[in-house]
Amino acid sequence: MDIILVQLITGIAYGMLYFMIAAGLTIILGVMNVVNLSHGALFMLGSYLAFTFISNGINFWFALLLSAISVGIFGFILEKVLIKRVYGKVLQQVLLTFGLMLVIADSVKWIWGTEMQLIPAPAILNMSIPIGDMAFPVFRLFVVFVGILLAVLLWYLEAKTRVGAVIRAGVDDRAMVSALGINVGVVFTGVFIFGAALAGFSGVLGGPLLGMYTGMDAEILITSLIVVVIGGLGSWKGSFIGALIIGVLEIFGKVWFPSLSMLIVFLIMMIILIIRPQGLFGREVA
């Protein structure tokens, strides 16, 4: 039972990490209709920036903030210079953001090399607590707490603020929002910055949990896309549930069926899409 409990909490921790990056991805997709395949590369960039900051004597918390802001600024530049040129053009979005993913990945290899790195957990969280006869890292519990806090924050922004109302309206009817005098371009830019910063933020939290290595951008992107598809396009609530499902299944799969863990994840995705093609919380398209 101790092993099962430890693996369950570990799966939830991984799920919360997947939720943090998938939330940014699904918000960008839901509000802007932009398929951003460079999102995983932004996650990786956040990790490596934090690694550099910490290696130069900056503490983990300040490095977390700096990395999120830096990736957010980078996202602002991307949206203003490149992304805004391909609004409404799905094929061009896919090609552009896929190219951006390759450019960012190769730049990371050139700057930081190809050796696997690890961001050390902050001293206050670099310890373990006993669960039965086993020790469980406190940092994983912290990731669970941050994921839940983010979910509450997104709910509050969506349900209780004017910004959330504008975003919901923009998802339903962009033309109406523009007719009301709201600058949709500013909304789109803000959403992209938020999504990019969230990717960088989750990349820093993922550093102590996953490590940093070449190819992690593609791996985390595939997992995030699975989460988004299961949860429903444009639904952060769906991303939350989908991420929990994938995180728990992935951990239990790696423990009990290591050679079939990803196959199990894809099978679950197929079953959900057969039952609900729009995803768990996605809306049916008339």
Rounded distance between C-alpha atoms, residue 88 and residue 106, angstroms: 28
Contacts of 240 (CB under 8 A, 6+ apart): 19, 23, 151, 231
Rounded distance between C-alpha atoms, residue 199 and residue 194, angstroms: 9
CB atoms inside a 10 Å sphere around CB 246: 27
233 phi and psi angles, rounded to 5 deg = -60, 130
The class level of CATH for 2-275 reads mainly alpha
Beta bridge partners of 131: 134
Q: What is the pTM of this model?
A: 0.90
pLDDT band at 132 (very low <50, low <70, confident <90, very high): confident
Model confidence over 238-285: pLDDT tens digits?
889 999 999 998 888 887 887 777 788 888 888 888 988 888 887 654
Model confidence over 225-236: pLDDT tens digits?
899 889 887 777
Rounded distance between C-alpha atoms, residue 61 and residue 272, angstroms: 38
130 phi and psi angles, rounded to 5 deg = -75, 135
